Amino acid sequence: MPLGHDGAAVTTRASIAAGRPDPRDPADLVDRSLGGLMAAAARLSWLVLGLALIVTAAAGFYIVGHLRMETDMNALLSADLPHRKTQAQFDAAFPQLGDNIVIVVDGATSGRADKAAAALAAKLRARDDLFKHVFHPDGDPFFRKNGLLFLEVDELHEMSDRLADAQPLLAVLAKDMSLRGLFDLLSLASTSVADGESDPAQLVRAFDRIADTILAHIEGRRVELDWSELMQAKPAGRSDLRRFILAQPYPDYSSLSLAEPAIDTVRSAVAELGLAESIGVRVRLTGGIPIRADELRSVSDGVGLASAISLVVVTALVVVGLRSVRLVIAIVLTLGMGLVVTAGFAALAIGHLNLLSVAFAVMFIGLAVDFGIQIGLRYKENRIAGLDHRQALRRSGSTAGAVFLAALCATIGFLAFVPTAYVGLAELGIISAAGMVIGTTGALTVLPALLTVMRPGIAAAAQHRSSRLRWRIGVIERFPGTICVAALALGLVSLVALPTIRFDADPIALDDPDAESVQTYLDLARDSSTSPYMANVVAPTLDAAAALARRLDELPVVDSTITLQSFIPQDQDEKLQIIASTALFLGPALETGRDLPPPSAAENRAAAARFLSDVRKLAASTRVGPLAEPARRLAASVERLRADAAWEAGGNALDASLFADLPRALEDLRLAMSAGKVALADLPADLRERYVASDGRARVEVVPRENLTDRDALRRFVSQVQRVAPDVTDTPVLLLEGGDAITGAFVQAGAFSFVLIASLLVAVLRSIVASVLVLLPLALALALTVATMAMIGMSFNFANIIALPLLLTLGVAFGIYLVLRYRETAGVAELLRTSTPRAVLFSALTTLVAFASLMASSHRGTAGMGALLAICLTLALCCTLVVLPALLALGERRRADRRNEGKA
C-alpha cells in the first residue's frame, strides 16, 4: 500500500489491476462518471460542437458591446477601507486637486520658462471642453507683484543693496539696449571696481554669464542672458528655472484612453507654440493622469503581446509533447473557445477588466491547456495500448478525475481571492474561477467531440519513449533518502532568506521606467519642495488648520506645513519699507524707453574697444580679487567677437541673445516695486479654493523631511503624523495602508486557499499522508522561491505577490496528477513509465511559458509578475517531478523493510 494503510486503498489497487471498478471508492465513481460524460460527448459530437460554437459566438458578440476596461487605480481596493473613505471625503472637499496633468516647464532662463508657461496655460484655458481647471500659479499677477514679500528680511536687504549698486548700470541699459550700451555698462562696472567703488564679487556672475552668451553666439548657439538671475542675490537654481501648470481634464475611467484627448491637446499646444529644447524650453508631463495613461498603454500592450506569445509557444510545446497534429488542433480549438466564453462571462458577471484581471487570458491559456494535455496524452496512451477510440476516451476517465480535482483546487484557490478587500484581485479570482469551470467543461465535452470528429492518428514511436526515463527511475529508486534529505536541507537553508525579503509599496516602481511621466515624477520626487509624497489633513476652520500645522511642524519627520495662511507674508511692514526705498532710488533704471538711436557697427566696435581698455586696467588693479578670471574670460570672448568675420552681420542675433529677456525682467522688477500689504482676501481665488473648501474646511499640506520611497521612512512619517492628525490622507497614507491592505488580502487568500485545498485533498484522497505528499513539494518550492528572490535582489510588490497564492493553486495540480496515477500503478518505477510524468512536464512547461510571456511587457509590474511566476512554477515542477517520486519511493522502501522484518 503506497499511500496509507486503509483497506479501501488495497481494494482500489486490486480492482484496477483486475480492470474492474471499485464501487466503494468515491474517486472511482467520479472517474467512471467523467469517463461516461466524455463517451457521451463523443457519441453526440456534432450536437456538442454545435452548442459550443453557438455559446462561443454569443459570448464573442456580447464581449464587443459590454466588456470595458476599468482604469481607475483607486477602484482596485475596497471603498469601505477606512483610508479609502478618508481619501474620498478629501477628494469631495477639494475636487480640483485630483486627477491632474502636471505640466513641468523648464527654461534655459527664467524668462523663457515664464513666457512658455504663460503661453501654454492660455492655450489650454481656451479648451474648457477638455479641462475643468488650468492652474498656473507662477503666472498669476499676485505673485509677480508681491513676490519680494515672500523673501526673508535679510534676503530682501541683500537684493536691495545689489539693486542699489546696479542702478547706474541698469539706467545705462534701460536707455540703450544694444551692444554699445552693454559695453558702456561693462566699462562703467570695470572702472567702478578698479576705483574701489564696487565690490568685485558682485560682478563675477554677470561677467561669467555675459561671456557665456557671447561665446555661444560665436559658436553658432543661442543662449539667452537671464537678467532676472543677475538681479538676484544668488545664482538661479533649478527651481528658479522651472514653472508648473496643473491641468485637470475630464477622465473617462471606462476607457483605455482615459484622458488621451486632453494629453494629446497639451502635446499639440506645445508643438504649435514651438516649445522645444532647441529654443531653451523643455516641457514634460507627469501626474496621476499621464502616469495612468502610460501604465494602461504598457499593461494592455504587454498583456496583448504576452497572450499572443503564450498562445504561439504553448501551441508549439503541445505539438512537441503530443506529436499529433490533429490532437493539437483539437486542444487549441477547445482552448480558444474556452477563452472567448470566459471573457464573455467576465463581461456578463463584472462588466469590466481591471489592471489585474486583464491578465486572466494568460492564466486561462496556461491552466486550461494543462487539462487538454493531461486528457490528450492519456487518450493517446490508451490508443497505443490497443483500445479503440470510444474505449480510450472512457478509460481516460481516471485522468479526467485528476483533471477535475486539479481544476476544483484551482477554482477554490481563485475563489479565496473573493472575500478580500483587494477588489482588483477579487475580480481576477471570480473570472479565473469561472475560467476553470469553463476550461474543465470544455476538456470533458468539446475536446472528446473534436477527437471523435477529427480522429487523430497516433505515432507508434510513442510506445518506446518510456525507456528514456530509465536512468532517472534508477536514481530515484536507489537514492530516495538522499534526495529527500537534500530537499529538506535546501528548504531549511532557504528559510534564512525570508527576513531579507521586502515589500515595495510604491506603485511607481511597477511602471515603465522609460516613460516620460515616470521619469519626470522621479525627478520631482528628489526635491522635497516638489515631492509628490506630501500628505494632507482637513481641519474644520482656517484657524484650526493653522493650529494643527504648528503641532505638525514640531514632528521630526515633518519638513514643513502649508496652509492658506502660509501665503500671507511675514514682517510685511518692514519689507514694504525696504521695497519703497528701493523703488525710490531705482526709478530711472526702470524706464525702458530708448533715448539713443540704434548703434552702427563702428559704434559697437568703439564701445568694445573702450571696454577692453577698461577691463585690462581692472586686471592690472589690486582690487580685481575674485573678478580676475571672469574678467579675463569676458575680455577673451569680446576679442573673439571682434575678430569674427560675421561681427556686423551677426549683431542683431547677438542683441537678441543678450537683451531679449531684459524688458520682461525690468517690467517684473517695476511691478514688484508696487507691492502692497497682503491679506487673506487679496489671495487669488484659485489659490484660496485649493486650501479652503466651499464649506469652510481648510487643508493642511504636510511636507515630509525624509525620502518616502524608503518604506521604513514612509511608515515613520505616516505613523507619527497620524498620532497628531488621525485623518491624514493622500499619497503617503494611500501607499502605506493600501500596501498593508493588499498584503493582508494575499495572506488571507493564501490561508483560505490552503485550508480549503488541504481539506479537499484529504476528503478526496482519503489519506492525510497522500495529501501531505501533494503539498510538501509546494512548500519546498515556496522556500526556494524566497531564496531565489533574495539572491537576485527581487522584492515583492503589488503585482508579483500574486505568485504566492497561485503557486499553491497551480502547483497542487502537479502533485494530484502524480499521486492519483501512482495509485493505479504497482510502484514508482511504473508510475514514471506512464504518460503522466510527461503530461505533467509538458503541461507545466506550457503554463510556465504562458506566465513567462508576461515578461515581454514594458510594464515592470506585469513583467515582474511573469518573472516570479516563472520562477515559482519552475521550482514547483522540479520539486514535484523529483522530490515527490523520491518520497513515494522512500515510503515503498520502508514498507518493504517492515514486511521483511515481519517475515523474519
- Secondary structure of residue 701 in the 3-state scheme: strand
Supply the DSSP string of 205-247, one letter for each residue: HHHHHHHHHHHHHHTT------HHHHHSSS---TGGGEEEEEE
Amino acid occupying residue 206:
A
pLDDT at 365: 80
Q: What gap in Å lies between CA 291 and CA 258, rounded to an integer?
A: 11
Dist. CA 246–CA 848, nearest whole Å: 44
Neighbours of 1 (CB within 10 A): 15
**pLDDT score recorded for residue 537:** 96
The reported pLDDT for the residue numbered 593 is 55
CA distances from 396 to 31, 389, 638, 665, 836 (A): 8, 11, 93, 86, 12
Cβ contact 98:116 at 8 Å: no
- CA–CA dist 353, 304 (Å, integer): 13
| Neighbouring residues of 462: CB distance < 8 A, sequence distance ≥ 6 | 323, 380, 381, 384
17 CB-near residues (< 8 Å, 6+ apart): 826
Position of cell 519638513?
A: 559
Q: Which helix (H) or strand (E) holds 69?
A: strand 68-69
In whole angstroms, what is the distance from residue 240 CA to residue 399 CA? Answer: 71
Cα dihedral sign, 433-437-440-442: negative
Q: Which residue ranges of the chain lie beneath pLDDT 50?
A: 1-21, 23-24, 459-467, 469, 649-650
The rounded distance, in Å, linking the Cα atoms of 384 and 459 is: 8
Give the Cα separation of 179 and 193 in Å (integer).
21
For residue 246, what are the β-bridge partners?
102, 135
Report DSSP letters for 736-801, one per residue.
Answer: HHHHHHHHHHHHHHHHHHHHHHHHHHHHHH--HHHHHHHHHHHHHHHHHHHHHHHHHT--EETTGG
Q: Is 283 helix (H, G, I), strand (E, B) or coil?
A: strand
Nearest to 613 by CA among 210, 191, 297, 232: 191
Alpha-carbon torsion 200, 202, 206, 208, what sign? positive
The helix, strand and coil proportions of the chain, stated in percent and rounded to the nearest 5, come to 70, 5, 20
Q: What is the DSSP letter of 581?
A: H
User: CA 256 to CA 467: how far, in whole Å?
Assistant: 53
- The angle formed by the CA atoms of residues 459, 465 and 468, to the nearest 5 degrees, is 160
Nearest to 562 by CA among 717, 701, 732: 701
- pLDDT (0 to 100) of residue 645: 58
Alpha-carbon distance of 187 to 607, in angstroms, equals: 9
Give CA–CA dist 671/704, Å, rounded: 34
d(CA 367, CA 435): 9
pLDDT at position 694, please?
Answer: 92
Cβ neighbors of 478 (< 8 A, separation 6 or more) are none
- Return the number of other C-beta atoms located less than 10 Å from residue 20's C-beta: 10
Sheet holding 698-704, edge to edge: 535-539, 698-704, 558-562
Residue whose C-alpha cell reads 554699445 in the numeric block = 180
* Dihedral angle sign, alpha carbons of residues 379, 382, 384, 390: negative
Contact indicator for 259, 250 with CB cutoff of 8 Å: yes
Output the nine-digit C-alpha cell for 661: 529677456
pLDDT of residue 651: 59
What is the Cα–Cα distance from 419 to 421, expressed in whole angstroms? 7
pLDDT tens, residue by residue, 764-774: 778 888 888 88
CA distance 423 to 436: 20
CA distance 120 to 324: 64
Q: In whole angstroms, what is the distance from residue 603 CA to residue 356 CA?
A: 72
Closest CA to 62 of 351, 336, 308: 351
pLDDT per residue as tens digits for the range 253-291: 777 677 889 999 999 999 999 999 888 899 999 998 898
Dihedral angle of Cα 447, 452, 454, 455, to the nearest 10 degrees: 120
DSSP codes, 238-255: TGGGEEEEEEEE--BTTS
Classify burial at 544, counting beta carbons within 10 Å of its beta carbon; exposed 0-12, middle 13-18, buried 19 or more.
middle
Q: What is the pTM of this model?
A: 0.78
Phi–psi pair at 507, nearest 5 degrees = -65, -15
Residue 446 is placed in which grid cell? 468539446
What are the DSSP calls for 322-366, one per residue?
H--HHHHHHHHHHHHHHHHHHHHHHHHHTSEE-TTGGGHHHHHHH
Contact 527, 240 (CB under 8 A): no
Are the C-beta atoms of residues 687 and 137 closer than 8 Å to each other?
Answer: yes
